[in-house]
Chain A
Amino acid sequence: MMKPTSEADLAEAVASAAGPLEIIGGGTRKIGADSLGDPLCTAGLSGIVLYEPDALTLVAKSGTPLAEIEALLSKKNQRLPFEPTDLRALQSTTGTPTLGGVVATNASGPRRISAGACRDSLIGVRFVDGLGRLLKNGGRVMKNVTGYDLVKLMAGSHGTLGVITEISFKLLPAAQATASVLVENTEAEAVATMAEALGSPFDISGAAHIAGVTALRVEGLAGSVAYRAEALAKRLGGRVDLFDWQALRDVHAFAEKEGDVWRISVKPSYGPAVATALRGLGANDIIFDWAGGLIWALAPAGLDLRSVITSGHATLVRGSARPVFQPEPAPIAALSKALRGKFDPRGILNTGRMG
């Protein structure tokens, strides 16, 4: 496996590639199991380039282990705002998650509803395009509208537009305190409960429903968290209690169970109707995150759930059905294909992963 240790070597590896390449970070976020070409690993590009706690800014090489970043930030009571997922248990992978993999898959956890996705915290990238050119976009400052925003385009592009070599993030202070409010109710009631919470001024940073329990999270300064949790519990008829947000984030509930796992993004209020339709197809195990806007569904192997997704989209996170991504409307698919043609004219970067 090619494992360059500098941007220049990585650029050279891409420029001189004779055939398709499969771009790998830690190999822990399998989307589609197919082998796409000669493996090219970014784990050799590792290390913090710049960390300015006063400026809420971090720059690191793409192969840096996520755990190293999180440990560094927690020493200064800061964090990546978007709560990146760790899908190793769900997907039965064993590698070390890297920052590059987080960006390439736009991996965003429960806090996405308040702090935005990975793409919202991403403020700069350096990457190597399919011709082996080392390019940059964005930078290390959190307000930047200089030129087109290719930073967002790279987030979630699954290595098909370029090999990311360096990443800049804006950060947030870590929460001094966290509290969860739990309400026992049905799936149909849950979405209304979560909508009411998110429509309140209590600044909710997590809203999920799993196994008959709706969980709402508040974070911040200790006094403020206590106040908001109490007020929310009173308003919703719930109780302040413990909830495992990390297990929710990483979909631990499905890790030990047989079957395909789908990740479905819909308008939150559609959640219950979509869940009912999914059950009709035989997908009986369902989790809501993002106030109902993100549905995790466990389905019998080989079943394509996309026939019931009329608005929004579904991605197969574990399983063998193809395509993995929801097919896009024709004009959007044409634009995406044309963009790939510009960023990777030879068609060698993770070819076929995204259509």
Chain B
Amino acid sequence: MQMPVPNPDILSRRAEIIAALQAVLPAGAVVSDPIETRAYECDALAAYRCPPLAAVLPGSTAEVSAVLKICHEMGVPVVPRGAGTSLAGGALPTEDSIILGVARLNHVLETDYKNRFITVQSGRTNLSVTGAVEADGFFYAPDPSSQLACAIAGNIAMNSGGAHCLKYGVTTNNLLGVKMVTMDGEIIDIGGAHLDAAGYDLLGLICGSEGQLGVVTEATLRILPKPEGARPVLIGYDSNEVAGACVADIIRAGVLPVAIEFMDRPVIRAAENFTHAGYPDVEALLIIEVEGSEAEIAEQLATIIEIAERHNPVELRESKSAEESANIWKGRKAAFGAMGQINDYMCLDGTIPVSKLPETLRRITELSVQYGLDVGNVFHAGDGNMHPLILYDANKPGDLELCEAMGAEILKLCVDVGGCLTGEHGVGVEKRELMHSQFTPEDLDIQMSVKDVFDPRWLLNPAKVFPLDASEARR
């Protein structure tokens, strides 16, 4: 993967830049020792690494503003970083950039149950937002798999989803307002505890802009009362097509489960070997979860099971206890880790129209044979968000490149059948060059012109989202 050539002028002013940052931040908030900056050289897309010029860890919005003012004046690129869990290289530094980490901004600022929102600093982890309100019967709905570690800042940057977004939506549907610092250091408030925007929906524009329009320091998030209960059912089929048809029938019947998860045989086997969750050895496994009171759960599950049985399942297991529910979810939640036990893998994130599921799975299998790399599929079937996991050997020369080439073909396939390159992970550096396959030059130009408005000098999160050739004239 190509990155822009570092600006030699910035590299030569390294000491001066660090001194300027140290002058506005408390001791210990500027990390410049080359051994320590290594901690920031990559995110969860660990195949690409580059230590930054320095990293800063501001403890307030005012400090974030001070840092950005300095970087703006000195022309230094800034890479915002939440918890560093991006799978797309969204927080990959360049050699001439400053990492701006929000990890120290992790406080709850306001909890308001009457109006059903919580305001937190953006470095707070996703799960700890729910943690702050669950004793009072509330939760924050978006639940990316990395929710134990990932920060709200990154969730907003990537518009993160999760397993339960079929019912509750993704981050953008649960974000009410932000406090944000623009590249020139100006602090602005967008949205708030009221439900809609006065003018343009700038909040919708900020969410998913991959840290390229501003640094979000506070977020006001919608919280919801916890449902009375939830229960999953596990259904096994001997073909992907039949499992896909079952999902379509359930949706057509008017039932809206909170989650419909799909795993294929390689993932089922890996998850079973890893967790001993008791999964059957079948071609396709569905985990469907519904919520509500006991009576509501029973009513919904009865409909789902009736539909599932029409498709002759190999196995159908309705949870009868909290322990059984945990077991059903255990393998799914550990699926990525289980695949990681077998080999190195690359996790893709394309979305397809759900009607194209059988066709897409078939073509992925063909590509797997063609490239000689195994693929496991685990994904959110209700919304078509695929997560093919391509297995490769990082120690084998050429294997990563082969894997990336195959991944690119799968993502182009997703676009070709009417879907998109990324459903919830973001473009980052990983899918940057593939943007040409989804967008025309004009489509990209209008998006880049939005960045021109917020960050005219293109200093925020460089070399992400847009193909380098498309953005070259603006950088």
Instruction: Give the contacting residue for B208; candidates A53, A145, A267; CB below 8 A.
Output: A145
B453 contact from A140, A329, A338, Cβ within 8 A: A338
Chain B residues contacting A135 (CB-CB under 8 Å) are 440, 442-443, 446
A280 at the B interface (CB under 8 A): no
Tell me the complex Cα distance, A117–B114, Å.
20
A195 touches B115 (CB 8 A): yes
B359 within 8 A of A: no
Instruction: Establish whether residues A290 and B195, one from each chain, have CB atoms under 8 Å apart when the complex forms.
Output: yes
Q: Is A279 an interface residue (CB 8 A)?
A: no
Q: Mark A139-176, 1 if CB is under 8 A from B, else 0.
A: 11111111111111101110001000000000011101
Residues 328-339 of A, flagged 1 when their CB comes within 8 A of B and 0 if not, give 110111011011
Is there a chain B Cβ closer than 8 Å to A265's Cβ? yes
Q: Judge whether A269 is part of the interface by a CB distance below 8 angstroms.
A: yes
Neighbouring B residues of A203 by C-beta, 8 Å: 227, 292
Q: Across the interface, do B447 and A150 meet the contact criterion of CB distance under 8 Å?
A: yes
Contact B116 A152 (CB under 8 A): no
A residues less than 8 Å from B186 (CB atoms): 331
A268 to B159, CA, bound (A): 26
Once the chains bind, are B295 and A120 in contact (CB under 8 Å)? no
Nearest B residue (CB) for A338: B453
- Residues A201 and B442 in contact, CB atoms below 8 Å apart: no
Complex Cα distance A335/B440, Å? 25
Q: Which residue of B lies closest to A174 (CB)?
A: B254
Closest Cβ of chain B to A76, distance in Å, is 8
CA A120 – CA B251 in complex, angstroms? Answer: 19
Q: Tell me how far the C-beta of B176 lies from the nearest C-beta in chain A, rounded to whole angstroms.
A: 10
A269 close to B194 (CB less than 8 A)? no
Q: How large is the interface on A (under 10, 10 to 19, 20 to 34, 35 or more residues)?
A: 35 or more
Whether a CB of chain B sits under 8 angstroms from the CB of A133 is yes
Report the Cα distance A55→B252, complex, angstroms.
8
- Hey, what's the 0/1 contact readout for B386-419 against A, CB within 8 Å counting as 1? 0000000000000000000000000000000011
Chain A residue nearest in CB terms to B226? A201
Is residue A253 contacting chain B, with contact meaning CB distance below 8 A?
no
In the bound complex, CA of A68 to CA of B88 (Å): 41
A223/B447 contact (C-beta < 8 A), A145-B424, A293-B194, A332-B190 known: no
CB pair A152 B195 closer than 8 Å: no
A143/B443 in contact, CB under 8 A: no
Contact A336 B292 (CB under 8 A): no
Closest Cβ–Cβ distance, residue B94 to chain A (whole Å): 21
The answer to the question of A116 belonging to the interface, with a C-beta cut-off of 8 Å to chain B, is yes
Partner of A146, one of B137, B199, B227, B420: B420
Instruction: List 15 additional A-B contacts (Cβ < 8 Å) besides A145-B158, A149-B207.
Output: A54-B249, A54-B251, A129-B446, A140-B418, A141-B383, A141-B385, A152-B205, A152-B207, A157-B200, A174-B254, A192-B114, A221-B296, A268-B114, A268-B193, A329-B188
Of the A-B pairs whose beta carbons lie under 8 Å apart in the complex, a sample of 18, sorted by A's number, is A54-B252, A112-B195, A120-B172, A135-B446, A141-B418, A143-B161, A145-B426, A150-B450, A152-B203, A152-B207, A153-B450, A156-B196, A156-B197, A173-B256, A221-B299, A267-B193, A311-B194, A342-B453
Identify the A interface with B (CB < 8 A): 52-57, 76-78, 106, 108, 112-113, 116-117, 119-120, 129, 133-137, 139-153, 155-157, 161, 172-174, 176, 192, 195, 198-201, 203, 220-221, 223-224, 227-228, 265-269, 290, 293-294, 311-313, 315, 325-326, 328-329, 331-333, 335-336, 338-339, 342-343, 354-355
Residue numbers of B with Cβ under 8 A of A are: 112-116, 137-138, 158-159, 161, 165, 169-170, 172-173, 186, 188-190, 192-205, 207-209, 225-228, 248-249, 251-256, 292-293, 295-296, 299-300, 303, 351-355, 380, 383-385, 418-427, 431, 435, 438-440, 442-444, 446-447, 449-454, 465
